[in-house]
């Protein structure tokens, strides 16, 4: 990963703003943006303009959602996400007084100032929904943890440069969100157990969980920590590694790899590295999915359906983002438009932006 303080190679400490620790970030507020009344008014005017033109959400581009007062802050946030700390919290959208359609337009429009949305699941959802609709976290045939109330251990999402979550409704209890710098985890592993870090820097079989793109098999290989073109990127979902051997020709997970994943998770969850977020209704959490692990605790929901925990999710690719290693394209293929990974766009599936699911 290249930084203002120099470049790093494999198995060297990573330096730069993305290698932060929890105590450091807890003292800072520069990664938090509170919406000002003038910015909210500007967003509401942009929503009205989109609706007046009868634009669909999928057809709404950055130019269709002008927010000149907020634009400098969005540009700074994008820079911080790509080449800075890799996290941002935008606080205070008035979701309680907006319709679901207005919320979706606003969220999509803000996202369009950061990157290009891609599909998040085999159903072609460009606007995703993180809520408990009875998904089985332990399923071997589908990726449904985000559709359950289960604890989600530290991981990265399987697609996109940036991941955004907008909180519509928090849970009755639990569901706390946490993030950890992958570079900080890398450095701690390098200091403690460089042998285990090397195990995570080698190609590792991953289970597609049935989300197989055209011309590809049921598994693919990718390292957890990947050094490529002067950058270090990370991709990690432990259960997809552990279930890969169910497919013919995939070797069992080795004891060394199990130990390495145990250490990675212990470090990511440690008080020294884990940053907990107070995620409220109207907050948007943005993270660099290439440099940041995220998690959530299990939760208890409200009995009333309108009050149940519900987050809107965006997966955003960056047309001018970091060079990506071949494993990202092996997972998703590439877009004819900008050459970036295509997200979870399955053959023959129409793209959509549903306002709700389940």
pLDDT score recorded for residue 136: 59
pLDDT score recorded for residue 17: 95
Q: What single string gives the DSSP state of each residue in 181-244?
A: EHHHHHHHHHHH-HHHHHHHSS-EEEE-TT-PPTT--SEEEE-SEEEETTEEEE---HHHHHTG
Straight-line distance from the first to the last Cα atom of the chain, in angstroms, rounded to the nearest whole number:
41
pTM of the model: 0.92
Element spanning 55, H or E? none
pLDDT score recorded for residue 87: 98
pLDDT score recorded for residue 4: 32
pLDDT score recorded for residue 138: 61
DSSP assignment letter at 307: G
What are phi and psi for residue 344, nearest 5 degrees? Answer: -90, 60
Picking from 58, 64, 109, the residue whose alpha carbon sits closest to that of residue 352 is 58
CA–CA distance, 228 with 9 (Å, rounded to integer)? 9
pLDDT score recorded for residue 211: 84
Q: Which CATH architecture group holds 30-332?
A: 4-Layer Sandwich (3.60)
Q: How far, CA to CA in Å, does 294 sit from each of 138, 181, 182, 236, 277? A: 19, 9, 10, 10, 11
Strand, helix or coil at 50?
helix
pLDDT score recorded for residue 315: 96
Q: Give the list of residues 6+ apart from residue 349 with CB closer than 8 angstroms, or none.
A: 119, 122, 123, 124
Per the CB < 8 A criterion, the answer to whether 297 and 176 are in contact is yes
pLDDT score recorded for residue 343: 82
Q: What is the mean pLDDT of each run of 10 residues along the chain (358 residues)?
A: 42 93 96 98 98 97 98 97 97 97 98 95 93 66 64 89 96 87 98 97 94 86 94 95 96 98 98 93 97 90 85 94 88 71 82 94
pLDDT score recorded for residue 113: 98
Q: Where are the domains of the chain?
A: 30-332
Task: Supply 282's token pair.
Answer: 């109207």
pLDDT score recorded for residue 135: 56
pLDDT score recorded for residue 330: 85
pLDDT score recorded for residue 345: 79
């Amino acid at each position: 990963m290249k930084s203002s303080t120099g470049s790093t190679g494999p198995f060297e400490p990573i330096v730069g703003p993305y290698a932060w620790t929890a105590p450091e970030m807890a003292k800072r507020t520069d990664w938090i943006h509170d919406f000002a009344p003038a910015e909210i008014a500007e967003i509401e005017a942009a929503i009205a303009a989109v609706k007046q033109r009868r634009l669909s959400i999928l057809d709404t581009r950055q130019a269709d959602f002008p927010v000149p007062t907020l634009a400098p802050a969005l540009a700074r946030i994008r820079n911080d996400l790509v080449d800075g700390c890799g996290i941002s919290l935008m606080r205070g959208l008035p979701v309680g007084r907006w319709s679901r359609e207005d919320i979706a337009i606003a969220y999509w429009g803000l996202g369009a100032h950061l990157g290009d949305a891609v599909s998040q699941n085999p159903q072609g959802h460009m606007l995703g929904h993180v809520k408990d609709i009875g998904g089985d976290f332990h399923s071997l045939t589908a990726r449904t943890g985000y559709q359950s109330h289960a604890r989600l251990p530290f991981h990265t999402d399987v697609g996109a440069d940036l991941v955004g979550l907008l909180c519509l409704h928090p849970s009755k209890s639990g569901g706390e969100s946490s993030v950890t710098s992958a570079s900080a985890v890398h450095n701690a592993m390098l200091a403690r157990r460089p042998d285990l870090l090397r195990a995570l820097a080698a190609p590792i079989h991953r289970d597609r969980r049935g989300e197989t793109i055209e011309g590809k098999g049921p598994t693919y290989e990718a390292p957890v920590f990947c050094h490529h073109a002067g950058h270090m990127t990370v991709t990690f979902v432990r259960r997809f590694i552990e279930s890969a051997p169910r497919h013919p020709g995939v070797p069992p997970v080795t004891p060394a790899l199990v130990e390495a994943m145990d250490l990675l998770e212990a470090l990511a969850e440690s008080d020294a590295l884990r940053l907990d977020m107070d995620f409220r209704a109207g907050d948007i959490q943005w993270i660099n999915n290439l440099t940041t692990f995220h998690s959530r605790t299990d939760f208890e929901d409200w009995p009333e359906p309108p009050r149940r925990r519900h987050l809107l999710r965006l997966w955003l690719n960056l047309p001018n983002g970091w060079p990506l290693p071949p494993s990202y394209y092996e997972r998703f293929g590439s877009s004819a438009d900008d050459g970036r990974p295509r997200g979870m766009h399955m053959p023959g599936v129409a793209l959509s932006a549903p306002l709700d699911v389940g």
